[in-house]
């Protein structure tokens, strides 16, 4: 089994359209050969920073600069497939025709790659 991870950035105000796109893709994925499942994760912008600012004294924060990244809401999709070939076949087939519906809602920053699990085993 292989793991595919895609990280995308929705344009500000477009996060619900991106959420809906990926939720609507689920029936096609379930029908795809080799598909084992996935998680769709949507960031909660500002939650981490607000909590750090709440619990960290101001003098300690001064030593830790913070650069704002691009505006938008990050999505992380973690998918499980039987093989790289089956994931690529899905991308080039059923999901390819729908991509035009997604692209207007995204910023250009993204990444996607296949990963291996290197978590230590007990």
Tokens, residue 73: 């809401």
Reported pTM: 0.85
Which architecture, in CATH terms, is 2-115? 2-Layer Sandwich (3.30)
Residue 68: burial class (beta carbons within 10 Å; 0-12, 13-18, 19+)? exposed
Alpha helices by DSSP H, listed for the chain, are 15-24, 26-31, 47-55, 58-61, 84-92, 99-102
CB atoms within 10 A of CB 113: 9
* Sequence spans of domains, the chain: 2-115
Q: What is the pLDDT of residues 8-38, one digit of tens each?
A: 999 999 999 999 999 999 999 999 999 999 9
Residue 9: burial class (beta carbons within 10 Å; 0-12, 13-18, 19+)? buried
Q: What is the pLDDT of residues 59-115, one digit of tens each?
A: 888 877 667 767 899 999 999 999 999 999 998 887 676 778 899 999 998 999 999
């Amino acid at each position: 089994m292989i793991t595919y991870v895609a990280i995308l950035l929705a344009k500000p105000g477009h996060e619900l359209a991106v959420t809906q796109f990926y939720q609507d893709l689920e029936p096609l994925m379930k029908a795809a050969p080799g598909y084992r499942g996935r998680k769709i994760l949507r960031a909660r912008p500002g939650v981490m920073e607000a909590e750090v600012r709440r619990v960290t004294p101001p003098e300690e924060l001064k030593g830790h600069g913070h650069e704002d990244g691009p505006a938008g809401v990050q999505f992380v999709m973690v998918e499980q497939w039987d093989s790289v070939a089956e994931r690529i076949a899905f991308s080039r087939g059923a999901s390819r025709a729908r991509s035009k519906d997604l692209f207007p809602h995204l910023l250009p920053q993204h990444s996607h790659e296949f990963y291996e699990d290197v978590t230590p085993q007990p």
